[in-house]
C-alpha cells in the first residue's frame, strides 16, 4: 500500500509526434510541452528509449543533445538543428 503521494498532478499538455530522415539516419521523436518543466520541452527519442528535458539553453551546450538522447555526435548535431526550430 502507498503511504504518501509526493504528487499526482494532471495538467494540459501539447504532444507532437515527429518522424523524419536526416543526413545521418531516421529520427522518431515525441515532444511534450507542459508548464511542469518551466517552459522546457520533454523530448523522447523512441529509437534509443532516451529522453531529456530540453530548453533553448540546453541547445547551446556542445554535445548535450547527443548525450541525453543517446545518439552519436553527428546525429546529435542534426537533432540540435531540428530542435532549434521547434523549441522556443
Confidence band of 70 (pLDDT split at 50, 70, 90): very high
Convert the pLDDT of each residue in 2-23 to its tens digit: 888 898 889 999 999 999 999 9
The pLDDT of residue 4 is 87
Positive or negative torsion for Cα 10, 16, 19, 20: negative
Convert the pLDDT of each residue in 19-66 to its tens digit: 999 999 999 999 999 988 888 999 999 999 999 999 999 999 999 999
Confidence band of 88 (pLDDT split at 50, 70, 90): confident
29 strand-pairing partners: 18, 45
* pTM of the predicted model as reported, rounded to 2 decimal places: 0.89
Amino acid at each position: 500500500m502507498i503511504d504518501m503521494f509526493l504528487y499526482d498532478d494532471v495538467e494540459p499538455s501539447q504532444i507532437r509526434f515527429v518522424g523524419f530522415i536526416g543526413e545521418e539516419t531516421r529520427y522518431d521523436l515525441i515532444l511534450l510541452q507542459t508548464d511542469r518543466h518551466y517552459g522546457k520541452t520533454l523530448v523522447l527519442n523512441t529509437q534509443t528509449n532516451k529522453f531529456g528535458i530540453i530548453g533553448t539553453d540546453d541547445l547551446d551546450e556542445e554535445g548535450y543533445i547527443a548525450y541525453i538522447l543517446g545518439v552519436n555526435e553527428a546525429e546529435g548535431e542534426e537533432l540540435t538543428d531540428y530542435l532549434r526550430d521547434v523549441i522556443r
